[in-house]
Chain A
Amino acid sequence: MPGRLAPALWGLAALFVLAAALEALVRWGALPKLVVAAPSDTVAAIWRLAAEEGLLRALGATLLTALGAVAAAVIAGLPAGYWLYKHPRFGLAYRNWLGALFAAPLVLVYPVVLVLFGRTYVSTGFMGFIVGFIAVVLYTREGLAAVPATLVRVGRAFNLTPEQEFWKILLPAGTPMIFTGIRLGTIYALVNIIGVEFLINFGGLGFVVSEAYDKFDIPGMYGAIVFVILVSGGMLWVLKRMQLWLRPA
């Protein structure tokens, strides 16, 4: 693995060059101003959105919605995954279904969710919850099923109760995969939530993007998009750090 500094610097340099090229193209009129914003305007717009249009409040709204969705997904998903593990007949029966659901265009059900829960954070959160839940259930079951049989037998030999077996053997051994499920669930939940916010023009960050678009505030729209990319990147970084902390590999 090369030193961490060099690639990061190269990446930033490339970004800088691309931004400069884009700036030039827009300023010279080669790209229409009302469709592509100059990077300088975009950065300025992020500032303006934060100061005047409640960008940070929107960020808070989206993150809280995602947090709620993931929390619900974990609270419902862990026991469900555990139950599927304990009842292998059902686990095997539903495994392919869950896999297929995970890959399915679940976001398409948003009109129905909208009609059920209204145009509220419950709807956007629910959209995140669905994908998060499936990810957690899938990976929890897989993670627990992958716990080496010897460990389980050791537990039996010590006459552990199911609770003890879960907390002392299954959970620690299954944590890497379970956490991967939580991590994937979080990412997918966040993507879905922002996407639905954009589609229904309501909520946090996704709404800021669609609102700017509707007002023809093109620098604002790109500013919000860049902000979304930064937030996604930040969230990924945090999750990666958490996984490393949980299981220094």
Chain B
Amino acid sequence: MTVGKMLLFASILAAAAAGSAIAEEKIKVAIGQRQVWDSQVIPLGVEAGIFKKHGLEIDITWTAGGAETLQAALTGSVDYALTNGVEGVLAAYAKGAPVRIIGSEMRGAGDIYWYVKADSPIKTLKDAEGKTMSFSRPGSSSNLTAQQLAAKAGVTVKLVSTGGMPVTRTQLVSGQIDIAWAAVPFALDAIKKGEFRIVARGSDLANLNDVSIRVNVTTAAFLKDRAKAAQAFSRAYKESVDWMYANLDKSAEYWAKLTKITPELAKDGIAFYPKERLVPWPISGLDHSIAEAVKAKRLEKPLTPEQIKELVVEIK
């Protein structure tokens, strides 16, 4: 072999070695609800360099939080869809979608609360007999939570679908509804200032705190073709959750900047999310969710144990 060829060979080897060290695997994710705390796991994990450490480069597309998040994964446009309502995932799976649940995104409805104007006579839901209580849309978690909260307080309220949080807030202020719904950190600043008062929280439903309301999914194809990347992703995600709560000052500051609130208010908001609600494994309360899905007619019949085993995949 000539010197020239040896040099060429050596440089190719060097380039290959350097390439594999530098090149990160690219993973595309779709995340709904840009503003909420539990959606910050990946952005914070990326900021903290955790995903890079695991050899991953994450590309995030934000959605409005509806079915398009899951659809993006189903069309192959993204590898992971996060923050999906578990019942929607169950419905898609039952219709033949090759989805796989690989993590729990949020347990319980602790991120939702109901508030009233400061001068309202309602102190707790027990005072809300006959009043109007709002939720976002029929079938949403705010809908179900509102129903259960009212039942728990033993009152009959007029449940009204008011849509998004901004609209709902204005309707409360103008007197069209008595109790408005919101998710952290919406209106927390006004609540702190005393304009509004919280009268009920999703976390009041203790039994729900052990149910994975939102889950993270990927496709069967991804798990098969890119098993190593999937492993790295799950590990990095778990580490990111740990980091978020171990570095509350930094994560609160990041979230505060994003949502344009003060870091103190951010920390108040994070208090709504005890760490155990965000820990990605196991998928809690799946039987409960399946039963609810059947009741809501999103599933024709409960999933069989074989189906559940196929749908839920633990990645260590």
Asked if the two chains touch in their complex, CB atoms less than 8 Å apart, one says: yes
Closest CB in chain B relative to A204 CB, distance in Å: 15
B166 at the interface (CB under 8 A from A): yes
B20 at the interface (CB under 8 A from A): no
| Contact assessment for B75 and A216 in the assembled complex, using a CB-CB cutoff below 8 Å | no
Closest CB in chain A relative to B155 CB, distance in Å: 24
A115 at the interface (CB under 8 A from B): yes
Closest CB in chain A relative to B117 CB, distance in Å: 16
- Name which residue of chain A comes closest to B296, CB basis: A215
| Contact assessment for A216 and B91 in the assembled complex, using a CB-CB cutoff below 8 Å | yes
Number of interface residues, chain B, beta carbon within 8 A: 23
Q: Which of A34, A111, A116, A201 meets B96, CB within 8 Å?
A: A34
Cβ < 8 Å to B, chain A residues 105-139: 111, 114-116, 118-119
| Contact assessment for A114 and B97 in the assembled complex, using a CB-CB cutoff below 8 Å | no
| Contact assessment for B97 and A118 in the assembled complex, using a CB-CB cutoff below 8 Å | no
| Contact assessment for B66 and A118 in the assembled complex, using a CB-CB cutoff below 8 Å | no
| Contact assessment for A119 and B74 in the assembled complex, using a CB-CB cutoff below 8 Å | no
Per-residue interface assignment for chain A, residues 24 to 52, with 1 indicating a CB less than 8 Å from any chain B CB and 0 otherwise:
00000000111100000000000000000
| Contact assessment for B171 and A216 in the assembled complex, using a CB-CB cutoff below 8 Å | no
B71 at the interface (CB under 8 A from A): yes
| Contact assessment for A35 and B74 in the assembled complex, using a CB-CB cutoff below 8 Å | yes
B162 at the interface (CB under 8 A from A): yes
Number of interface residues, chain A, beta carbon within 8 A: 19
B247 at the interface (CB under 8 A from A): no
Q: Which of B67, B88, B162, B298 meets A118, CB within 8 Å?
A: B162
| Contact assessment for B163 and A216 in the assembled complex, using a CB-CB cutoff below 8 Å | no
Q: Which of B92, B137, B166 meets A115, CB within 8 Å?
A: B166
| Contact assessment for B167 and A34 in the assembled complex, using a CB-CB cutoff below 8 Å | no
Cβ < 8 Å to B, chain A residues 218-240: 218
| Contact assessment for B97 and A115 in the assembled complex, using a CB-CB cutoff below 8 Å | no
B170 at the interface (CB under 8 A from A): yes
Complex Cα–Cα for A35 and B162 (A): 29
A213 at the interface (CB under 8 A from B): yes
Complex Cα–Cα for A39 and B88 (A): 24
- 6 A/B residue pairs, CB under 8 Å, sorted by A: A116-B170, A202-B161, A215-B67, A216-B70, A216-B95, A218-B95
